[in-house]
Amino acid sequence: MDATTDAVKTGTSTLGITFDGGVVVGADHRATMGHFIANKSVQKLFGISDYVALTTAGLVGHAQSLSRTLSAELRLYELKHGKPMTVKGAATLTANILTGRPHYVQLLIVGVDDSGSSVYSIDSAGGSIPDVYCATGSGSPYMYGVLEDQFREAMSETDALKVAAKALLASAQRDAASGNGMDLAVITPEAGFRLLSEDEVSNLLQTL
C-alpha cells in the first residue's frame, strides 16, 4: 500500500493482551475506502523494537509514517543509553508525537520490560491509557465481547493467543471493515518480538 494514499483507511481490528510472562498482539489485514475493500493485505502490526510493538487503526499513510519514526527513535535511544526504552517510555513518546502533530490514527503500544507486560492505548490527540488488554478500531466492540468474557489474569501464552484469535475472528464476522486474515505476535523477555507464521496462525485457528 502506498504510504501517501491517505484516503485509504484501515477500518481495522487490533488488540493487545497481557499474559503471564509476556504480551500477545494482533491485527487484521483489511483496508477500506468507504464501503470498498481497497486492500486485503495491509500491515497494521509492527515490531518497532525487540520488545515493543505498535498496532495501527486509521489512515494508512499516517500509520506507516509513525511506525518508521518510532522504530528509528527507539533504536536511537538504545544506542545512546545502552538499554531499550521502556514500554511506558515508548507510549509517552508516541503520545508526544501525536500531541505535536495530530494524526488520524488510534494506536496500541504493547511490550515487555523490567516492570512486566504492558498495553497502552494511544488516541489521535495524544492520550495514553494503560490496561491489561485493549482493542482498537471499528471491530473493537465485537472483540471486547470476547475479551470481557474470556480474559483471565496471568493466562498462559497459549490461552492468550487463543483469546486473541477468537476476538479477531469475531470482528471479522461482524465488522465489514475488518477481516481477510490476521497477524499475531508474541513478545516475551526471553525471545523478544516474534511474529507467528501463516502456518502457525492456521494451526491455532484449527484448535478454536
Rounded Cα gap, residues 151 and 76, in angstroms: 35
pLDDT above 80: residue 180:
no
Listed by start position, the domains of the chain span: 9-206
Of residues 32 and 12, which shows the higher confidence score?
A: 12
Rounded Cα gap, residues 140 and 138, in angstroms: 6
Overall average pLDDT of the 156-162 stretch: 97
Architecture of the CATH domain 9-206:
4-Layer Sandwich (3.60)
Is 12 labeled as catalytic in the residue annotation?
yes
pLDDT above 60: residue 3:
no
* pLDDT tens sequence across 41-82: 788 999 999 999 999 887 777 788 889 999 999 999 999 999
Of residues 86 and 43, which shows the higher confidence score?
A: 86
Q: Of the residues 4, 10, 12, 92, which is catalytic?
A: 12
Q: Torsions phi, psi of 52, nearest 5?
A: -135, 140
Rounded Cα gap, residues 134 and 203, in angstroms: 24
Mean pLDDT of the chain: 88
- Among 92-101, 155-164, 172-181, the range of highest mean pLDDT: 155-164
Banded model confidence at residue 7, pLDDT cuts 50, 70, 90: very low
Banded model confidence at residue 40, pLDDT cuts 50, 70, 90: low
- Model pTM score: 0.89
User: Residues 27, 182: contact at Cβ < 8 Å?
Assistant: yes
Of residues 63 and 155, which shows the higher confidence score?
A: 155
Lowest mean pLDDT among 32-41, 111-120, 184-193: 32-41
Give the pLDDT of residue 105. Answer: 76
* pLDDT tens sequence across 100-112: 676 777 899 999 9
